[in-house]
Structure 1
């Protein structure tokens, strides 16, 4: 029988331990990539194999892979695996996502994102091409396919926002978003109070519906609507996180 989806508030101690384990996995895999032990195009071990190798949970492995993906070291191909990317995709902006801890910091990150991503959505609408739109759509489709598993939506969520950043044609949007990694996603900060599965599935559905509205506006080339849709999405994200903090 499948266990119900849970979302809970993290205690500082819990978050610190998990962050440390995640960092260990990231550092180990990154070293393999940078020393060419893992070469461009190589497939990484499966989640199950990494769980055994590093003696950590699947959540830790997934967070580590999400960070590596956000930093441009790897890419995940749905249903196939995770592969090492070309080096040029890696960001230079040095903002340590390990500094972003807990739901209070997540609210501060959302304030940053409201100003940053509102404009990036407008620029993407003016500058994107069909290939970039297709990449956004793939991320949304992957998100929808993983609605039944909360952690499964984190990677496509990050990919969607990163694709918008890429579509601006301005690498610094990409660098900032890349180094926020999983910490740009508010629900990764929720881990202590149970949320009923039906309610959480509805939450994820609403998030992706907002994503679709952003993508639709970008695809139409409607910069004003893209800015409005992105701003509304991030304000809604901030409100959802605030309500979760308060147990509403």
Structure 2
């Protein structure tokens, strides 16, 4: 299973379990089903289950105790009754993208400082998935898996939690291209080159170059979307 597929399935599972916690089906303090039971119930791999639980923990919905299991927490109160990270119009989308540039550039810089060989391998694997993606849905999953791998490598749980809260919806394809048709070759080549630049800078352990590469990629992404309208 590719990193992009694992990320997509983990997000689906995290939402399913999270919905049970928010609705009260799994009340605060109650132990979640064991890893084995979740594997059997959802037909997911242990890797997917573990990543889903990590996401729930980063969102403040679960606390995992070593040797004991995972327990539901009281769901965080919503901000003003709505998702404060949701962008409702073009102006808010621009603000959200600027916010993303700020946090992901810093995440890339931190990733360059803290990356282990395993972290670099995960980032490279996500890059391979992006290279192999053809349809928009595949591209979105692979793209988000790459950015999440960078955030995870930063070592800052809040950066990772924020990106998880945003979810794959931040990987915005131009409206005219959100359909089951192959990506345009020129755009695909540019996107891949930008992601490779980020991966190379992190691999070299260069925080400034990593932040600059991430900023350049996200700025170019916004420009591509604006060019289509």
TM-score over 0.5 for the pair: yes
Identify the match of residue 130 of structure 1 among 95, 106, 117: 117
- Structure-2-length-normalised TM-score: 0.67
| 1:208 Cα deviation after fit | 1.8
| 1:233 Cα deviation after fit | 0.5
Identify the match of residue 148 of structure 2 among 158, 162, 169: 162
Identify the match of residue 54 of structure 2 among 88, 113, 132: 88
CA distance in 2, matches of 1:233, 1:84: 31
Which sections of structure 1, spanning at least 5 residues, go unmatched?
A: 1-23, 46-73, 78-82
Q: Please say if residues 55 and 164 of structure 2, whose CA atoms lie closer than 8 Å, have aligned partners that are also in contact.
A: no
CA distance in 2, matches of 1:26, 1:102: 27
Partner of 2:184: helix, strand, or coil? helix
| 1:89 Cα deviation after fit | 3.8
Identify the residue that residue 69 of structure 2 maps to in structure 1. none
| 1:244 Cα deviation after fit | 1.5
Identify the match of residue 194 of structure 2 among 187, 199, 210: 210
Partner of 1:85: helix, strand, or coil? helix
CA distance in 2, matches of 1:159, 1:211: 12
CA distance in 1, matches of 2:85, 2:45: 21
Identify the residue that residue 218 of structure 2 maps to in structure 1. 234
| 1:170 Cα deviation after fit | 0.8
Task: Identify if the C-alpha distance between structure 1 residues 193 and 186 changes in structure 2 by more than 3 Å, giving closer, same or farther.
Answer: closer
Identify the match of residue 109 of structure 1 among 65, 78, 96: 96
Q: Please say if residues 214 and 226 of structure 1, whose CA atoms lie closer than 8 Å, have aligned partners that are also in contact.
A: yes
Identify the residue that residue 64 of structure 2 maps to in structure 1. none
CA distance in 2, matches of 1:102, 1:236: 20
CA distance in 1, matches of 2:102, 2:85: 22
CA distance in 2, matches of 1:131, 1:29: 28
1:151 aligns with 2:137: yes
1:225 aligns with 2:209: yes
- Structure-1-length-normalised TM-score: 0.62
Q: Please say if residues 100 and 106 of structure 1, whose CA atoms lie closer than 8 Å, have aligned partners that are also in contact.
A: yes
| 1:192 Cα deviation after fit | 4.8
| 1:26 Cα deviation after fit | 8.1
Q: Please say if residues 100 and 183 of structure 1, whose CA atoms lie closer than 8 Å, have aligned partners that are also in contact.
A: no
Root mean square deviation of aligned Cα = 3.5
Deviates more, 1:221-230 or 1:106-115: 106-115
Identify the residue that residue 126 of structure 2 maps to in structure 1. 139
Q: C-alpha deviations, 1:149-169, integer Å up to 9, x for none?
A: 111111111111111111111
Identify the match of residue 169 of structure 2 among 179, 183, 189: 183
Which sections of structure 2, spanning at least 5 residues, go unmatched?
A: 1-11, 27-31, 61-75
